[in-house]
Amino acid sequence: MADDQIELLLTSVRDVLGEVVIGAYLHGSAVLGGLRPRSDLDVMVVATRPTAHAEKQRLVSRLLAVSLRPRPVELTIVVQNEIRPWRYPPRMDFQYGEWWRSEFERGEVEPWTSATNPDLAPLVRMVLLSDTPLLGPAPSDLFEPVPRRDFVQALAHGVDELLTTLESDTCNVVLTLARIWCGVVTDQVHSKDGAAEWVLPRLPPEHRPILARARAIYVDDEEDGWDDLRLEACAYAEHVAAKIDRLPGVHSAS
């Protein structure tokens, strides 16, 4: 089923952009430990030039139909000369994600506030680590390694914003905080459940049930309910955010 959806995604990109596409690369859960019931299909595309407004409109129309059937799709497009040679913060040309579905359905094709996107740094690391071209050359032919300083800065910069979505997106925030902590310490990209396994024994006993619950929701597709654990989830998030803030390299990278 995932292969069919990936092929529909690639067909959409090729139909809209044609020879502008140099390469397309699968990353994320699909290649970092396997797809889970709630995993996205993550694809990064490298193009020779920026996509035009009309092309973005056509892409959005196609992607709205492809995503959630059955999995959410995350598609990121970068322009070749914006990512090689590498510089930070990197710039993206286009990104489709389900968190912007309502904006896309209203006709917006660039709902982001800035083309510079620090989150591309860990995405590029994942693309290189995954080494899974869907079309085009090996990712190492198009992407340069992301320096640790930029990787750490990208992970750490979003913690405060992430905390603002704890109530509305509890499971994802709990797991992403663990992933940031694990990533900064190990200088590696891990799957959400892999990062949770790394973090669990490093938590005080009172915070472990929150991360264990989030991992079970993600891995086993358990019911996602947090109404009876709001205070505990907040305490966990505050603890992990403080832990990240004190890690070596976090402030020297900013």
* Domains assigned to the chain: 2-146 (3.30.460.10), 152-245 (no CATH)
The model's pLDDT over 100-138, given as tens digits with 9 standing for 90+, comes to 999 999 999 999 999 999 999 999 999 999 999 999 999
In whole angstroms, what is the distance from residue 13 CA to residue 27 CA? Answer: 17
- The rounded distance, in Å, linking the Cα atoms of 21 and 86 is 19
Which pTM was predicted? 0.92
Give strand pairing partners of 133: 25
- What does residue 120 show for φ and ψ, rounded to 5 degrees? -65, -25
200-217 mean pLDDT: 97
Look at residue 17 in the predicted model and tell me its pLDDT. 97
Peptide bond into 85 cis (omega under 30): yes
- Terminal C-alpha separation, the chain: 42
Averaged pLDDT of the chain: 94
Kindly report, residue by residue over 68-106, the tens digit of the pLDDT. Answer: 999 999 999 999 999 999 999 999 999 999 999 999 999
Q: Rounded to 10 degrees, what is the CA torsion of 164, 165, 168, 172?
A: -140
Instruction: Count the neighbouring beta carbons within 10 Å of the beta carbon of residue 216.
Output: 15
Q: What is the structure's pLDDT at 254?
A: 46
